[in-house]
Structure 1
Amino acid sequence: MELKYLYTVKKIIETGNYQKAAQALNYAQSTITFQIKQLEKELAIKLFEKEKQQMVLTPEGQEVLPLINQVIEASEALINFQTQDSGLKGSLTLAVPETLLTYKLQPIFKAFKAQAPHVKLSIRVMNCYAIFDEMVNGQIDAAFHYDVRNYPNRIQTHPIGTFPLVLVASPELAVDQRDFVTAHQTKSVCHIQNDRDAFYLKIFNKYLHNQDIHLETPSELWSIETIKQSVMSNLGVAYLPRFTVEAELLQGKLIELETAIQDNHMHASFGYHQNKADTPTIRLLNDLIKQQLK
């Protein structure tokens, strides 16, 4: 079995199809097709199937993916074993939501790069439901995320914090538009959001539905910093983790609006596959989490 075939499998998963994988690996597309057919023949299973415009793993492919990852990791460990530099090497692919990456995890990643400069660190930003799916499917090594579902036993998690949520507006927002407690309202206020599938937005949208509060058509800006600037310009309101707007609230650039949301906080965790628990890179990340997120 050719090790490069296993790397090709990973690249197809990452890019979504044979053509993009070929471009990324500097192969002809026919080479990718040949490698996958050879690997499928050796494993006696079908690895990929076409779904819409993407190549996705078959159920058998999903089952064998953790073994493919183990072979690749073992190979990299052998290559890096007792080389000239005894520091950490290899690669690590992490997924994280924008809010945690921007406002909570920068010190951790800075310290990680300082202590493991030869580790190829790849950080992917996505919402927590997508993170869950990619963790379960073995497409990423580890993740920081808000707890949205229960993982299977093969994935290990550690809590990293509980974070309150807050509805914010500009101090210029008209007083008669600040009531988000009274039910059965139609308000001339825009809801500014980034990803409609974000966990905290599901909480807020469910609350609006239950309270029968109707806002103007939402604006999707896909950047927390842009959202904050837009709210400060009185273009609408936003429901966000409090830590993302703490400075602006203290400076009076934003104000907090009262709601009747009962469970207005999120729990966050660091998760990784159980077979990676004793790897040096995961141990380092766990140590840094304890140091930085006390």
Structure 2
Amino acid sequence: MEIRHLVTFQKVATLLSFTRAAEELNYAQSSVTTQIRALESSLGVELFDRLGGRIRLTAAGEKLLEYAEQILTLTEEARADVAGSDGPSGTLVIGTMESITSYRMPPLLEFFHHRYPKVQLSLRPSLCAETCHALRQGTFDIGFLMEQETRHQGLETVVLAQEPLVLVAAPDHPLARREQVSLDDLRAASVLATEAGCAYRDLFEEELRGAETTPFLEFGTIEAIKRGVVSGLGIALLPEVTVAGELEKGELTALPWDIPFSVYTQLAWRSGRRLSRELKLFIDHAVRLMQEEQPLARSS
């Protein structure tokens, strides 16, 4: 097996496309096909099932992908060590979401920028389900999740903190004057929310089912939701960290509703993957910095 063949195989296996792999590797597609066939010939197995215009990994291909990633990681480490690299370097592709990127990650990003300037952190906005899929496929190196579940098939996870949620409204909203807010009150209210697929939005929507409910008004970002709530367009359920400033200033008020579910901020990566030193550093510092901000509520 040649290293360049493993590089090509990993790219095809990650993208499940010979054409896209050729584009990213700057090869002719025929060259990618030739390299994969040479690898299959040397191993005596087929690595991909060709199904019309689509491909998928065979069982042998799945096994080889795990070894290929370990071999390529070791190769990069050896190259850096022998060449006398003066510190961690390379790119980490990170799946994340607005609430974590904007309100939880800044200390971590600042730390990495100053401590490890040669490590490039590539942040990819993604819903939790998409992040989990990308981690399993190898498209993301690591990902942040905010979900109720803390165990995910095919992934290793560490729980950073229970993420407090708060139901907010403008101070002059009718529900802000209630001593207690009921489900019927919430079902009759206009609710501003993130897109479907966000864990706490989906849990909230599920809680409100069972009677006629006003449809959720979907806004693109948390900042847009907050502006809408401040303007009196409706109420919103959001992570407390995202509205702490507005609550302190009195621009928003927390409604007296006991939230019957919890979500947890987590860090996840693919099970069985050999972690590079850069990835180990990122995990260690993420756990240290984020658990310092908010005590750990539960481990996975």
Question: Which TM bucket (shorter chain)?
Answer: 0.7 to 0.9
1:47 match? 48
Cα deviations by residue, 1:32-86 (Å, 9 ceiling, x for unpaired): 33333333444412336569x8655455433432222112111111211143442
Deviation at 1:280, TM superposition (A): 5.0
1:207 match? 207
Q: How do 1:121-270 residues align onto structure 2 when only pairs under 5 Å count?
A: 121-147=121-147, 148-152=149-153, 155-175=155-175, 181-183=182-184, 187=188, 189=190, 191-210=191-210, 212=211, 214-216=213-215, 218-263=216-261, 265-270=262-267
Structure with greater strand share of residues: 1
- Rounded Cα–Cα distance in structure 2 between residues aligned with 1:149 and 1:95: 17
Cα deviations by residue, 1:79-130 (Å, 9 ceiling, x for unpaired): 1114344211233222223211211011112211222222233222212222
Deviation at 1:244, TM superposition (A): 0.9
The change in CA–CA distance for 1:88 and 1:101 in structure 2 (over 3 A counts) is same
What is the identity, as a one-letter code, of the residue corresponding to 2:120? K
- Rounded Cα–Cα distance in structure 1 between residues aligned with 2:144 and 2:231: 31
- Between stretches 174-183 and 238-247, larger displacement belongs to 174-183
CA contact (8 A) 1:158 1:269 kept: yes
- Rounded Cα–Cα distance in structure 1 between residues aligned with 2:221 and 2:88: 33
CA contact (8 A) 2:150 2:266 kept: no
Deviation at 1:175, TM superposition (A): 4.6
- Rounded Cα–Cα distance in structure 2 between residues aligned with 1:275 and 1:16: 19
CA contact (8 A) 2:108 2:285 kept: no
Identity %: 25
State the structure with bigger RCO (CA 8 A, min sep 6), 1 or 2. Answer: 2
CA contact (8 A) 2:88 2:277 kept: no
2:296 match? none
- Between stretches 266-275 and 7-16, larger displacement belongs to 7-16
2:288 match? 290
Q: Unmatched 5+ residue regions in structure 1?
A: none
The change in CA–CA distance for 1:48 and 1:150 in structure 2 (over 3 A counts) is farther
Q: How many residues align?
A: 288
Give the 3-state SS of the residue equivalent to 2:247 in structure 1: helix
The change in CA–CA distance for 1:56 and 1:172 in structure 2 (over 3 A counts) is farther
- Rounded Cα–Cα distance in structure 2 between residues aligned with 1:111 and 1:176: 40
CA contact (8 A) 2:127 2:197 kept: yes
What is the identity, as a one-letter code, of the residue corresponding to 1:22? A
Q: TM-score when scaled to structure 2?
A: 0.80
Q: Unmatched 5+ residue regions in structure 2?
A: 293-300
The change in CA–CA distance for 1:79 and 1:120 in structure 2 (over 3 A counts) is farther
CA contact (8 A) 1:277 1:283 kept: no
> Could you say what the CA RMSD is over the residues aligned between the two structures, in angstroms?
3.2
The change in CA–CA distance for 1:185 and 1:79 in structure 2 (over 3 A counts) is closer
Deviation at 1:160, TM superposition (A): 1.1
CA contact (8 A) 2:14 2:137 kept: no
CA contact (8 A) 2:158 2:267 kept: yes
1:34 match? 34
